[in-house]
Amino acid sequence: SLSIGIVGLPNVGKSTLFNALTKSGNALAANYPFATIDPNVGVVGVPDPRLDVLGELFGSARVLPAKVEFVDIAGLVRGASEGQGRGNRFLANIRETDAICQVIRVFADPDVTHVDGEISPRRDIETINTELILADLQTLEKAVPRLTKEARTNKDAKATLEAAEAAGKALDSGTTLFASGIDLEPLRDLHLLTAKPFLYVFNLDADELTDDDLRARLSALVAPAEAVFLDAKIESELVELPDDEALELLQSVGQEESGLTQLARVGFETLGLQTYLTAGPKEARAWTIRKGATAPEAAGVIHTDFQRGFIKAEVVSFEDLVAAGSMTAARSAGKARIEGKDYVMRDGDVVEFRFNV
């Protein structure tokens, strides 16, 4: 499934944040049959008020939100691309993720030493990006001789070689590939790290959470990538508290929503995902698909057999269903549409699939 790798320099609060993610994930996993609990993976539900409405309407026994997986990628240090620390292991783990989330320290605490002596978000971001860029340059360096040879006889390899050369130039000038505007499709098999979308978590002191000037300055450092602002220590406390006390703690630091929840939502957007909904007496559930997925692809997320045997989908928009009050009423009102295999799913579609098994 789709996952986001969490990276950051030592002592920025990664473990603290990750423990909170794991705790929150274990609570969520209890709702999912067959969910495995992996110590390196934290799962966060993407809050969706529509699900509660559907749950009420259908008398569903449980409500299952979409989820985003975060993977702890330990070992990013200066020199990781040259095998420093657990450099090689680190690079192998991060290649498998779909996006990269950088945790950046802003909190001051003099008792927690900073690896480079002083707090500087800008320099930390540069350090991390430099390591990722160097790793990509090494990957390209290894690939180019092979591509050069293949390009003599193979047209596809020639296109790949040209893309690789353009990518090398962008990286040399300090630009990450995702931001470079280069067509990365020919380079897909190289699993380049900076070709993945990035997002940023700024780990602030509690009293900085409401500092709008600071937030604007930090956002500007990483734009157009998205930024989430949180206090990892508070996040680790929130997951231990009952809902009402958690809300009180959040409000005491001027927040309406936990940082983990914001992170799940921003992660979802960064990955280019959307949801469709199913509802019945057993469960009301949000299913994750890529934007632009067709009806059979959406069915395949529930079960591969559903995609293979897809016949049609009965689709009603969430708003129309709620206005009608029930599926039967929505059908009588002509609001339920029968869609075929070319239908492109829209966010908030409530769906029943028909299929052959």
Give the annotated binding-site residues for ATP: 11-16
Question: In a 3-state reduction of DSSP, which class is residue 100?
Answer: strand
Burial class (CB in 10 A: 0-12, 13-18, 19+), 252: exposed
For the bound state, the minimum distance from the C-beta of residue 190 to ligand GDP, rounded and expressed in Å, comes to: 29
Q: Which of residues 104-143 bind ligand GDP (CB under 6 A)?
A: 107, 109, 112
Which amino acid type is present at position 37?
A: I
For the chain, percent helix, then strand, then coil, each to nearest 5?
45, 20, 30
Q: End-to-end CA distance of the chain, in Å?
A: 24
With contacts defined by CB under 6 A, name the span among 3-11, 129-137, 220-228, 237-245 that binds ligand GDP.
3-11
For the bound state, the minimum distance from the C-beta of residue 316 to ligand GDP, rounded and expressed in Å, comes to: 44
Torsion of CA 136, 137, 138, 143, to 10 degrees: 90
Binding residues: 11-16
With contacts defined by CB under 6 A, name the span among 6-14, 92-100, 171-179, 272-280 that binds ligand GDP.
6-14
| Minimum CB distance to ligand GDP smaller for 253 or for 329 | 253
For the bound state, the minimum distance from the C-beta of residue 233 to ligand GDP, rounded and expressed in Å, comes to: 4
For the bound state, the minimum distance from the C-beta of residue 280 to ligand GDP, rounded and expressed in Å, comes to: 42
Question: In a 3-state reduction of DSSP, which class is residue 145?
Answer: helix
Instruction: Pick from 6, 14, 75, 124 the residue near ligand GDP by CB under 6 A.
Output: 14
Q: Which of residues 207-266 bind ligand GDP (CB under 6 A)?
A: 231-233
Token pair recorded at residue 128: 């991390």
Tell how far CA 44 is from the center of its chain.
10
Phi, psi of 141 (to 5 degrees): -55, -40
For the bound state, the minimum distance from the C-beta of residue 184 to ligand GDP, rounded and expressed in Å, comes to: 30
Q: For residue 21, give the nearest of 44, 1, 52 by alpha carbon.
A: 44
Instruction: Pick from 12, 164, 238, 324 the residue near ligand GDP by CB under 6 A.
Output: 12
| Minimum CB distance to ligand GDP smaller for 11 or for 252 | 11
Torsion 234-239-245-251 (CA) sign: positive
Tell me which residues touch ligand GDP (CB under 6 A).
8, 10-16, 107, 109, 112, 203, 205, 231-233
